[in-house]
Amino acid sequence: IIGILLGVSVGSFLNVVAYRLPIILHQKWKQECCEYLNLELSQPQVINNLSIIWTSSFCPYCKSKISAFDNIPILSYILLSGKCRKCSYKIPSSYFMVEILSGMITGYTFYSIGNISWNLVFYSLFVWILLSLAMLIVALSPSPQASVVKTRVGLSLKWLDQ
């Protein structure tokens, strides 16, 4: 049970990383390019001072802060029917699925290793890093292979978004 709860919590954090990291890197890249070329930023940054760790959770559509009660992994998604409480924006089902997948994989890792050890820490970190890399690759890759993965995952999870 501890492994599943830890995995679900880490899965929620991995969703934050997969959403915010590309935005942060793009904003930084754009700012550095403008500084190098002695240009002013033509458009304001999407979200100022966005941080993976320190910025509170917010709706990607209306940008309103998400309360702690609405930020409980899996449970909040189910209770809110996968929508933002403020604007009813449909939160992608991939967030829900990553939390479940992370919980299941971490729970299985805890179960397989059986005791708290450095192996457990290593394997858990390894699994989480692989999961976050897979999320970033699927989210950012314009390749046809990523499109096929997105389509297959999307079609298999289509019933969650209804």
Ranges assigned E (strand) in 65-131: none
Choose among 85, 89, 103, 101: nearest CA to 60: 89
Give the span between the Cα atoms of 146 and 60, in whole angstroms: 23
Eight-class DSSP state of 47: S
Does the structure show a pLDDT above 90 at 42?
no
pLDDT value of position 32:
85
Higher pLDDT, 150 or 95: 95
Q: What are phi and psi of 113, to 5 degrees?
A: -80, -35
pLDDT band of 154, cuts 50, 70, 90: low
Place of tokens 């899965």: 11
Does the structure show a pLDDT above 90 at 134?
no
Higher pLDDT, 109 or 152: 109
pLDDT band of 99, cuts 50, 70, 90: very high
Least confident of 13-17, 36-40, 106-110: 36-40
Q: How many helices (H) and strands (E) does the chain have?
A: 5, 0
> What does the block give as tokens for 144?
């046809």
CA separation, residue 62 to residues 57, 76, 100 (Å): 12, 18, 25
Give the span between the Cα atoms of 18 and 129, in whole angstroms: 11
Q: What is the pTM of this model?
A: 0.74
Give the span between the Cα atoms of 90 and 80, in whole angstroms: 10
Least confident of 18-27, 57-66, 97-106, 121-130: 18-27
Say what percent of the chain tops pLDDT 70.
81
Residues forming beta bridges with residue 58, ordered by sequence position: 65
